[in-house]
Amino acid sequence: MQMIEKIVVPVDFAENTDKLVAYACAVAERFEAAIHFIHVVASYPGDVMIGAPFAEEYRDRIMFAAEERMKSLVEDCKGKGRTCTGIVVGGEPVEKIVDLAASAAADLVVISTHGAKGLEKILLGSVAERVLKRAHCPVLIMNPFKALKKK
């Protein structure tokens, strides 16, 4: 059985991020693994229509806010005695997550699903599903909408 020493955890800072982080930290603690958090600021086709100066300023604000949240997340994680890092990057989420997992030689990716259904899933697809198909390592998909049972 392969040892799990490095875990990549993509976070979107949405309402269920805390559940994903808690779950990923529990997994990391169990295996005494390091955690690498990643947040990807996606570019949208509409950015071009807004106009370059406004789109650039908007992206800069989003990046700054995400970097501040990531610093806080990493500090909280380190404060509990875990080894962790965090980065914020721009680009296509699936590509960046898979690239980080490969470059960090991750043994596992822990990602949550948003539970998209119907037209939303058809139009947007599932980041978790596409990461699962492209990652070089195992991917654990966590559903934050289901209550976790404690022993």
- Domain at 18, CATH number: 3.40.50.620
pLDDT, tens only, 30-89: 999 999 999 999 876 555 555 566 677 888 899 999 999 999 999 998 877 779 999 999
Predicted pLDDT at 31 = 92
Q: Is 103 within the bounds of a domain?
A: yes
- Asked whether the predicted pLDDT for residue 151 surpasses 70, the reply is no
Residue of higher predicted confidence among 136 and 147: 136
Residue numbers of the domain that contains 17: 6-142
Residue 61: inside a domain, yes or no?
Answer: yes
- Segment 105-113 shows an average pLDDT of 94
Q: Is pLDDT above 60 for 121?
A: no
Write down the pLDDT at residue 115: 59
Dihedral sign, CA of 61, 125, 27, 151?
positive
| Among the ranges given (46-60, 89-103, 122-136), the one the predictor scored with the smallest mean pLDDT | 46-60
End-to-end CA, the chain: 25
Report yes or no on 151 lying in a domain: no
Residue with tokens 């198909």: 133
pLDDT score recorded for residue 140? 94
- Kindly state whether residue 86 falls inside one of the protein's structural domains: yes
Question: What DSSP string describes 66-118?
Answer: HHHHHHHHHHHHHHTT--EEEEEEES-HHHHHHHHHHHTT-SEEEEE-----H
